[in-house]
Protein backbone atom coordinates (compact mmCIF):
# COMPACT_ATOMS: atom_id res chain seq x y z
CA UNK A 1 0.00 0.00 0.00
CA UNK A 2 1.37 3.43 -0.91
CA UNK A 3 1.84 6.19 1.68
CA UNK A 4 -0.99 8.18 0.06
CA UNK A 5 -3.34 5.20 0.33
CA UNK A 6 -2.34 4.69 3.97
CA UNK A 7 -3.05 8.36 4.75
CA UNK A 8 -6.47 8.19 3.04
CA UNK A 9 -7.32 5.03 4.98
CA UNK A 10 -6.27 6.63 8.29
CA UNK A 11 -8.31 9.78 7.58
CA UNK A 12 -11.42 7.77 6.68
CA UNK A 13 -11.05 5.55 9.76
CA UNK A 14 -10.33 8.33 12.25
CA UNK A 15 -13.09 10.63 10.93
CA UNK A 16 -15.73 7.97 11.69
CA UNK A 17 -14.26 6.75 14.96
CA UNK A 18 -15.76 9.54 17.10
CA UNK A 19 -18.90 11.66 17.22
CA UNK A 20 -18.26 15.38 17.46
CA UNK A 21 -19.55 18.82 16.55
CA UNK A 22 -17.49 21.49 14.82
CA UNK A 23 -17.98 25.27 15.00
CA UNK A 24 -15.91 27.84 13.12
CA UNK A 25 -14.82 30.35 15.76
CA UNK A 26 -12.47 32.56 13.78
CA UNK A 27 -10.77 33.28 10.48
CA UNK A 28 -8.15 35.79 9.54
CA UNK A 29 -5.82 36.66 6.70
CA UNK A 30 -2.30 37.34 7.98
CA UNK A 31 -0.86 38.52 4.65
CA UNK A 32 -1.45 38.09 0.90
CA UNK A 33 -1.00 34.30 0.93
CA UNK A 34 -1.50 33.16 4.54
CA UNK A 35 -4.75 32.50 6.38
CA UNK A 36 -5.73 31.01 9.76
CA UNK A 37 -9.10 29.38 10.49
CA UNK A 38 -9.99 28.21 14.00
CA UNK A 39 -12.56 25.50 14.73
CA UNK A 40 -13.93 24.41 18.11
CA UNK A 41 -14.61 20.66 18.38
CA UNK A 42 -16.60 18.92 21.13
CA UNK A 43 -17.29 15.21 21.24
CA UNK A 44 -16.54 11.77 22.59
CA UNK A 45 -12.86 11.74 21.56
CA UNK A 46 -10.11 11.71 24.23
CA UNK A 47 -10.18 15.08 26.00
CA UNK A 48 -13.64 15.88 24.62
CA UNK A 49 -12.88 19.49 23.60
CA UNK A 50 -10.24 21.08 21.37
CA UNK A 51 -9.69 24.25 19.36
CA UNK A 52 -7.86 23.50 16.11
CA UNK A 53 -5.98 26.13 14.13
CA UNK A 54 -5.71 25.56 10.37
CA UNK A 55 -2.84 27.57 8.88
CA UNK A 56 -3.09 27.81 5.09
CA UNK A 57 -0.46 28.99 2.64
CA UNK A 58 -1.76 29.64 -0.86
CA UNK A 59 -0.04 29.58 -4.24
CA UNK A 60 -2.44 31.18 -6.68
CA UNK A 61 -5.83 29.63 -5.94
CA UNK A 62 -4.37 26.36 -4.60
CA UNK A 63 -3.48 25.41 -1.04
CA UNK A 64 0.28 24.99 -1.04
CA UNK A 65 0.65 24.11 2.64
CA UNK A 66 -1.74 23.30 5.49
CA UNK A 67 -0.80 22.93 9.15
CA UNK A 68 -3.39 21.80 11.70
CA UNK A 69 -2.57 22.13 15.37
CA UNK A 70 -4.23 22.80 18.72
Sheet of 62-69, strands arranged across: 20-29, 34-43, 49-59, 62-69
Whether residue 9 lies inside any domain: the answer is no
Q: Under DSSP, is residue 25 helix (H, G, I), strand (E, B) or coil? A: strand
Whether residue 4 lies inside any domain: the answer is no
Give me the domain span that covers residue 43. 20-69
- How far apart CA 47 and CA 70 sit, in angstroms, is 12
Whether residue 7 lies inside any domain: the answer is no
DSSP 47: T
**At 55, which CATH number?**
3.10.450.50
- pLDDT tens string, the chain, 70 residues long: the values are 788 888 788 877 877 888 999 999 999 999 999 999 999 999 999 999 999 999 999 999 899 999 999 9
Kind and range of the H or E element at 17?
A: helix 3-17
Whether residue 13 lies inside any domain: the answer is no
- How far apart CA 61 and CA 20 sit, in angstroms, is 30
Whether residue 41 lies inside any domain: the answer is yes
The total number of structural domains in the chain stands at 1
Amino acid sequence: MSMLEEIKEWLNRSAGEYTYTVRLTGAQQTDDTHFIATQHLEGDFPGGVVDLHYRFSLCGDQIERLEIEP
